[in-house]
Amino acid sequence: MKINTNPKIIAFDADDTLWHNEPYFDEAQAKFCELFADYASKQEILQLILSHQVKNLPLYGFGIKAFTLSMIDSALELTNDQISGQGIKKIIDIGRDLLQKPVELLPEVEDVLQQLKGKYKLVVATKGDLKDQHRKLHDSGIGHYFHHIEVMSDKKELDYEKMLGRLDTKPEDFIMIGNSLKSDVLPVLNIGGHGYHIAYHTTWEYEKIDFEIQHDNFKSFEKISDVLPILLK
């Protein structure tokens, strides 16, 4: 069945869909675990960071700055509020380093965008720090392919409905492509859109789900170029 009835909008998640991201966070957490190896095991520390991240989401949202604050919360808990100013500085340095990581596009991303541009309106729909995501999009060199950039505070049904309102499009005319089943696929399916999952080799624990998705508008692919035979029919 031909998908691109007119008009059609395709939104791409950014982190770990267009460019690498989660491995940088894994590296940052490994550095944090090394700093506090005398206080707890690596697994215990990782679980503590995650618990603070989830608890802080309503207040801090997503992104590197929120992650850094959650690391500080974790350090305070691990040390019973005894961490030194120098220790806090080391955590801030981990976060600052994350904000300066190079942007490395995933394979075939630009080729896919080249082939889809002009046939669909292309959008970036991503969570994270507003300033950091705009920096990454600029540094990636692919910003010119996109009609609209949406840095979202969250990716729940209401957030997508608000975005579609700004784009003046209906859910059935909208395709979301991303690596997170929880954030990129399920909410879009729930409002009547199309959700395409692109596998990535590592996933943040918060974004994992423990069930299989069965839905007519759901498709799953191993790599981003696999969407082209469907979208270019």
pLDDT tens per residue across span 39-60: 999 999 999 999 999 999 999 9
Helix axes 85-98, 22-35, angle to 10 degrees: 170
Confidence check: pLDDT of 189 > 50: yes
Residue 1: per-residue pLDDT: 39
Nearest to 104 by CA among 146, 141, 140, 129: 140
The predicted model scores a pTM of 0.91
Residue 202's pLDDT is 82
CATH 1.10.3720.10 given to domain 22-98 = no
pLDDT at 6: 46
- The H or E element spanning position 195 is strand 194-198
Q: What is the reported pLDDT for 164?
A: 96
* pLDDT for position 209: 85
Predicted confidence at residue 203, as pLDDT, reads 80
Across 18-27, average pLDDT: 95
Structure token digits, residue 153: 């505070």
Q: Which CATH superfamily is domain 9-19+105-231 in?
A: HAD superfamily/HAD-like (3.40.50.1000)
Q: Are 50 and 205 in contact (CB under 8 A)?
A: yes
Percentage of the chain with pLDDT > 90? 89
Q: How confident is the model at residue 205 (pLDDT cuts 50, 70, 90)?
A: confident
What would the mean pLDDT of 182-203 be, rounded to a whole number?
A: 94
Whether the pLDDT of residue 182 is over 60: the answer is yes
How high does pLDDT run on average in the chain?
Answer: 93
pLDDT of amino acid 21:
93
Average pLDDT over residues 58-71: 94
Report the pLDDT averaged over residues 131-159: 95
* pLDDT at 226 > cutoff 70: yes
User: Is 171:191 a contact under the CB 8 Å cutoff?
Assistant: yes
Percent of the chain at pLDDT > 70 equals 97
Hey, where are the domains in the chain?
Answer: 9-19+105-231, 22-98
Residue 7 pLDDT grade (very low, low, confident, very high; cuts 50, 70, 90): very low
Specify whether the backbone of 128 is left (phi greater than 0), alpha (psi in -120 to 50) or beta: left
